[in-house]
Structure 1
């Protein structure tokens, strides 16, 4: 085996341990090492969209493997062609395929309103620890419809960017394929449209519209729960028609598929066929980045200390930050102000701040201590890797409460538990949340721990 092959095998080995299977398969496995020369690892990526992932997540992997195999620091260099010169990107006619995906021709089909909001793009989506994997999945889908993750299911609380990502996917596809049949619609509007066509006895038009799409983007799919059987039946048939025809479906929800209790099981099962990704509240640094991004369009000056003040006041979602900026803009226009000081910002958001439900600031260390005391487990054991039953339960309960009672990002919570991966935190949260629903004793135990924390 050559030294280059040994190096590349080590890169793959380290990556496979770090990332979950779907991420590894899409972002890493399809890549190739072309050569190692002049202290550079020349790496082929089959899609330009993957470069961001490699730059942010693989540099240290290459560094580690480089030192192990070559005893030098290797710098990664990426190219997107197997030839020495990168070929010019060709426009793909709609009658041809891109990967395994083919855009449907628009023949005798009803006209379609995309419903897309053009302001939402990948370029203006602010990436952070809480949304990086959802963003990576959305980018992957926009690069290769129906060949990567189908469906893609994104869930999280309100105001965290789910709608932004849905629209960004749609806008990217329209930019690449102007004649693609793309439809963004909230689930509630889908229901109303279905019922209206049913009332008018015009279901043929409804079916032709939705079952001949290239990309269906459904927002807040949880709204479909509790509706009439016929409504869920129609969406079930629409989902099947699109999926069977290799067309892309992307869904968002305020909860994971496992907790969509009011939806039929056969629908929930299909939602889990592809990839499920969670979005969590933005951390402090991400909130600052979001604010900087949004104040670019305002005619006011925001000093750094004002931005940091605002980032500290609203920590649950992006909509609170947007609302705060609207309040400040209104006051600044009325008072003809140009510079937004902390005092100005504080006065402008006072009413909103008083109304906002602020999360109690509880250190993760305190949660670990209280949970440990309750279950007779030390914090050191909780941060370790032992799989003894009582330690595992205490660890998972502490992770669950850290997510429930603090605004820390998943990666941050993982770091506080001995450097666990964010997927471990998600698993612990979902596991305890599911157990609470069927285990009254565990529910009482967690309630008692919460009382001690408040």
Structure 2
């Protein structure tokens, strides 16, 4: 194809959007000194996958520093809007030559004088606005000091994490481990430290809020910090599907394949979404084969194991089953408490253990725990509330009501039937008057679930159980609330029953 270049208006728009991204990820001193006075002046299209960008610099020192220390953040920011792989040339104004990434020089065009005036104007404006401490231009020694290089490395990591779509706070360090997820954690850390050499693919499955996505992000964050040049691609099954559809519509399948098949680490969350979509499964199958043939690592998550994903092609299912599949169980009460305390600490919330346990007893997934923490933080910071048992109970009451208004579509009879099935007891026995220990436990749990899940009145609940009065129902509900805090068996029973009710309501 003949050489093409972007028009000036498009270049200015791309430059401004990229600068906005860089400003949010770099320190003010670095951004104002090195990025602000360095305009993007040209983008030349090489082919459908590659382009060459030219950035104007005021001095050779300026160009050398951008090339040596800021090349990757600039390249990442520009590629986001150009949608091509970029080679960047840094124009040196004083001698009208450009420093290329490999250290050589090329001639520039003749528009430098006008651009230099604008650069000087931008730089003077920066100096006028930099009088306050902390915003002055750094000296050469300051620029290349250990602390500045370290800060710049952090800036670069956060920028790349943002571009990839990672949650930088989802790390191995703040992932709480117990027997329910110990194997998944061990496999994830092994994969992160030796991509493609073991457990490929790694397939994590389990219910909502068990930590699948956290471990997936933790793998990517570990690799990004320790091997920052690794080509990492993260997406959900829905995003993968939508990208394929767009690439077909826009007739740029080559660009899609270039993105995914060159990945060294592909992380695909909720892979079950591609089931039943023939063209998507076809593309994924060939992408998967290309990656594993190159010893690239593939990490997948799903709500279900491969053999339970309906409409998933057998050839894809067999690829998944050839790797390591791990079922992550629902977190225990102790684990949920630990998760809450870890997430509270990262949000600078100091909460006593007994209140954390009270919350964990009522909230059965890590995802909902995050929502509770946000509500607590909002109440403390915006309303001036103190963390107390009254505040926690108020937040829990609202959370439980809102959550089940959204998700639970069951009748009282469904709850009683679920309790009957779970404990292998007859419904008539649970509703009746016999008081052996096993029956009383099941009866109390059924009353508790009717109250918590459906917000049934005390009188209504009493009628379902042989016309018991409201004081008997109150006693049953409060007894289960207390036992949830100290009896892991009760907590597991209630958690399992809640999951079965969610399944019924779908």
**TM-score normalised by structure 2 residue count:** 0.49
Q: In the TM superposition, what whole-angstrom CA distance separates every residue of 1:253-289 from its partner, at most 9, and x where no partner exists?
A: 0100011112111111111111000112110111111
Q: How does 1:354-433 map to 2 (within 5 A)?
A: 354-357=401-404, 367=422, 370=425
Aligned to 1:118: 168
Pick one of 218, 227, 230 that aligns with 1:180: 230
Within a 5 Å distance, the mapping from 1:55-454 to structure 2 comes to 110=85, 113-227=163-277, 229-315=278-364, 317-338=365-386, 340-357=387-404, 367=422, 370=425
Q: Deviations over 1:82-135 (max 9, x none)?
A: xxxxxxxxxxxxxxxxxxxxxxxxxxx947953322221111111122211111
CA spacing shift, 1:143–1:341, aligned 2, 3 Å:
same
How far apart are 1:175 and its partner, in Å? 1.8
Change (3 A) 1:140 1:217: same
Partners of 2:348 and 2:223 in 1: CA distance: 33
Question: 1:296 is paired with a residue of what secondary structure?
Answer: helix
Number of residue equivalences? 268
Evaluate the alpha carbon distance shift between residue 139 and residue 324 of structure 1 in structure 2; reply closer, same or farther with a 3 A threshold: same
CA change 1:129–1:366 in 2 (3 A) is farther
SS at match of 1:169: helix
Q: 1:365 and 1:196 mapped to 2: Cα distance?
A: 49
Conservation of the 8 A alpha-carbon contact between 1:110 and 1:205:
no
In 2 relative to 1, CA 303–202 (structure 1 residues): closer, same or farther, beyond 3 Å?
Answer: same
- Give the Cα–Cα distance (whole angstroms) in 2 for the partners of residues 246 and 225 of structure 1: 25
- Counterpart CA distance in 1 for 2:346 and 2:227 is 29
| Unaligned segments of structure 2, at least 5 residues | 1-83, 87-159, 409-413, 427-483, 501-506
Matches of 2:326 and 2:313 in 1, distance apart? 21
Check whether the contact 1:327–1:349 (CA below 8 A) recurs between aligned residues: no
1:9-28 to 2 correspondence within 5 Å? none
| Matches of 1:189 and 1:283, distance apart in 2 | 32
Q: Structure 1's 334 and 148: CA in aligned 2 closer, same or farther, altered over 3 A?
A: same
Is the CA contact (8 Å cut-off) linking 2:362 and 2:396 kept in structure 1?
A: no
Aligned-pair CA distance for 1:360:
6.9
Q: Deviations over 1:332-359 (max 9, x none)?
A: 3343124x11111111222212234499
Cα distance between partner residues in 2 of 1:181 and 1:265: 29
Root-mean-square deviation over aligned CA pairs = 3.3
**Which of these two proteins has the greater Rg computed from alpha carbons?**
2
In 2, Cα distance between equivalents of 1:157 and 1:368: 22
Cα deviation, residue 364, structure 1:
11
TM-score after normalising by structure 1:
0.54
Residues 361/320 of structure 1: CA separation in 2 closer, same or farther (3 Å cut): farther
Measured in 1, the distance between the counterparts of 2:310 and 2:393 equals: 42
- Measured after TM superposition, the shift of residue 298 of structure 1 is 4.0
SS in 2 for 1:184: strand
- Tell me, in whole angstroms, the C-alpha distance in 2 between the residues paired with 1:362 and 1:308: 29
CA distance in 2, matches of 1:363, 1:194: 42
> How many angstroms apart in 1 are the aligned matches of 2:331 and 2:418?
17
Q: Could you say which structure has the greater relative contact order, defined with CA pairs below 8 angstroms and 6 or more residues apart?
A: 1
Give the Cα separation in 1 of the matches to 2:398 and 2:167.
30
- What is the CA distance between 1:367 and its match in structure 2? 4.8
Q: Quick one: distance in 2 between partners of 1:300 and 1:261?
A: 43
Does the C-alpha gap of structure 1 residues 188 and 291 become closer, same or farther in structure 2, counting only changes over 3 Å? same
In structure 1, C-alpha distance between the alignment counterparts of 2:415 and 2:257, rounded to whole Å: 48
Whole-angstrom distance in 1 between the partners of 2:291 and 2:195: 12
